[in-house]
């Protein structure tokens, strides 16, 4: 791909508010140059091999901005595809226009990808439509945040205060009280509805609402630490009826997700839909078995089996990845029937176009065996059990007692994911910054104990809510003297999230 610079607006904060075009450009980039406020999970969408460069504040000083422009151009001259990712929209109260002009002067091809403006995103997620019939005929956007040298924007405050419509200004913490004071001292009505929104579109979003004079006093006491959007006008009164984002059941809750990075999305999505901030800490990663030959032999002789019993989504993924890697496809299973231990496993099979023949109501080993036995008996049948390399032998033993021939094969193994994030999570647990810690596999429990030490791990979890899923996970937690407040014997990740929400409501 020929060198080009994509000037991408990442939107107001939430990683899923980037445009589809912006995401595609990011995924094609060799180099990603970004503001430090760009969400880390959005950066994960870039190629693993892409060079990542944090250039700091989204409102740099002039000299720093010159250096950033030269850096962008230099990377493009090296023949790289460059993604310059900034918060909000590149051309709205940002430096994107300067960067684009510099690239034009240097003869470097570029494309500008619009983003959801921060002012629009913050207001919408606060439940405030900044234009509304009866709310005034003007919308005034005031430059506040871009120039760090100014205490407040250089505008005609007297004329501005006389406008009957809505005023919107994104400002640094130190600017907010000065802007509000300027409006009051130049004639803006002290009883006019006003909102101040920080961390918009994120689970940490906070919205202060009151009259202009009340907000002035609140801000003086609050001492803001984050950039804020100031909204002044009648439309602020609609928040009481239109707030939706911060009214969700898990809003403001920080929930630790310990699943592997490949599987985390199944839990993160329902958490965020319900308003939680999902904190990713993949304790384990899924790897191929040390000896893959038994699995290959099973795949080559698949039609010999009467049943394949999948006990986890990981087993499904690993098995079919190995099966389809060769010259075989799904027809290789012939008349072999498939049993899934739980709806999550069945859902993973469904994604591959495989409809399960049996989904037991009871996901424990004895429940699976009972369901298979009731489905025609097992004596003399041959059963394939793809599983984790270190999985418990209980299911295989119980199946063998029925007279079936059981072939256990290691489809995958779980290994501890070495990461710098473990220290950050340790500190957050110590400081009580995590409301819930989730474990959805015994492997995650074992990894947590290995990373933090058995005694320390128990102490770390003593003052937070622990949520577990699956009988093996509960057994591992019990052995480690970890007492889950929420446990789901089986089901989907969405059901686990509902159980967490129900528990928090009850408290």
Torsion of CA 191, 197, 198, 203, to 10 degrees: 140
Q: What is the pTM of this model?
A: 0.77
Whether residue 169 is predicted with pLDDT greater than 70 in this model: the reply is: yes
Tokens 């947590």, located at residue: 448
Reported confidence tier of residue 54, pLDDT bands at 50, 70, 90 = very high
Domain with CATH 3.40.1010.10 in the chain: 4-116
With contact defined as beta carbons under 8 Å apart, do 469 and 488 qualify?
yes
Q: Is 293 exposed, middle or buried (0-12, 13-18, 19+ CB in 10 A)?
A: exposed
Residues of the chain with CATH 3.30.950.10: 120-246
- 262-290 residue pLDDT tens: 788 889 999 999 999 999 899 988 888 88
> What mean pLDDT, rounded, does the chain reach?
90
Residue 491 Rama label (left phi>0; alpha psi -120 to 50; beta): left
**According to CATH, where is 3.40.50.10090 located in the chain?**
254-283+417-506, 289-412
**Domain 289-412 fold:** Rossmann fold (3.40.50)
The pLDDT, as a whole number, for residue 41 is: 87
Tracing tokens 């995958």 back to the chain, one arrives at 412
pLDDT interval class at 145 (50, 70, 90): low
Maximum average pLDDT range among 63-67, 100-104, 415-419: 100-104
**CATH classification code of 4-116:** 3.40.1010.10
Distance of CA 195 to CAs 88, 169, 363, 377, 472, Å?
20, 11, 50, 67, 49
The predicted pLDDT at position 491 comes to: 78
- Specify the DSSP element, H or E, that contains 123: helix 118-125
CATH topology of domain 120-246: 3.30.950
Helix (H/G/I), strand (E/B), else coil: 111: strand
Ranges assigned E (strand) in 245-362: 254-257, 277-280, 284-287, 307-310, 337-340
Considering the four listed CATH numbers 3.20.20.70, 3.40.50.10800, 3.40.50.10090, 3.40.50.720, the one that applies to the domain covering 254-283+417-506 is 3.40.50.10090
Whole-number Å distance between alpha carbons of 213 and 232: 11
């Amino acid at each position: 791909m020929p060198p080009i610079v994509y000037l991408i607006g990442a939107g107001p904060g939430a990683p899923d508010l980037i445009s589809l075009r912006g995401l595609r450009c990011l995924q094609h980039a060799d180099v990603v140059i970004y503001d430090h406020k760009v969400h880390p999970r959005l950066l994960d969408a870039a190629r693993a091999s892409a060079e990542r460069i944090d250039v700091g504040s989204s409102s740099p000083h002039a000299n720093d901005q010159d250096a950033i422009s030269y850096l962008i151009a230099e990377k493009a001259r090296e023949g790289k595809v460059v993604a310059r990712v900034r918060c909000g929209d590149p051309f709205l109260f940002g430096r994107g226009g300067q960067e684009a002009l510099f690239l034009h002067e240097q003869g470097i091809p570029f494309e500008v990808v619009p983003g959801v403006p921060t002012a629009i995103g913050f207001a919408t997620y606060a439940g405030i439509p900044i234009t509304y019939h009866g709310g005034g005929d003007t919308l005034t956007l005031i430059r506040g945040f871009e120039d760090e040298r100014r205490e407040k924007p250089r505008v005609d405050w007297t004329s501005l205060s006389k406008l009957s419509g809505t005023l919107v200004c994104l400002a640094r913490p130190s600017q907010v009280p000065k802007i509000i004071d300027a409006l009051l001292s130049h004639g803006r009505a002290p009883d006019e509805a006003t909102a101040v929104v920080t961390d918009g579109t994120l689970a940490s979003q906070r919205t202060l609402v009151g009259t202009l004079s009340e907000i002035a006093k609140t801000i003086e006491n609050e001492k803001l630490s984050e950039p804020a959007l100031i909204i002044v006008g009648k439309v602020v009164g609609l928040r009481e009826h239109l707030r939706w984002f911060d009214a969700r059941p898990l809003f403001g809750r920080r929930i630790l997700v310990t699943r592997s990075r490949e599987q985390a999305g199944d839990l993160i999505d329902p958490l965020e839909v319900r308003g939680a901030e999902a904190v990713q800490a993949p304790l384990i990663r899924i790897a191929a078995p040390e000896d893959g030959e038994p699995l290959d032999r099973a795949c080559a002789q698949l039609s010999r089996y009467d049943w394949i019993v999948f006990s986890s989504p990981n087993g499904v993924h690993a098995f079919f990845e190995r099966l389809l890697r060769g010259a075989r496809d799904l027809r290789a299973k012939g008349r072999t029937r498939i049993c899934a231990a739980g709806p999550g496993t069945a859902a993973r099979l469904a994604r591959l176009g495989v409809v399960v023949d049996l989904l037991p109501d009871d996901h424990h080993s004895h429940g699976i065996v009972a369901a298979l036995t009731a489905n025609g008996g097992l004596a003399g049948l041959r059963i394939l059990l793809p599983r984790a390399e270190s999985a418990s032998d209980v299911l295989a033993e119980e199946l063998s007692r029925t007279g079936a021939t059981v072939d256990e094969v290691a489809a995958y193994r779980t290994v501890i994911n070495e990461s710098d994030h473990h220290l950050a999570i340790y500190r957050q647990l110590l400081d009580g910054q995590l409301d819930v810690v989730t474990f959805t596999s015994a492997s995650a429990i074992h990894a947590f104990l290995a990373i933090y030490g058995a005694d320390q791990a128990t102490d770390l979890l003593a003052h937070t809510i622990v949520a577990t899923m699956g009988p093996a996970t509960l057994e591992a937690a019990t052995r480690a003297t970890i007492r889950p407040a929420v446990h789901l014997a089986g089901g989907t990740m969405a059901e686990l999230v509902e159980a967490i929400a129900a528990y928090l409501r009850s408290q």
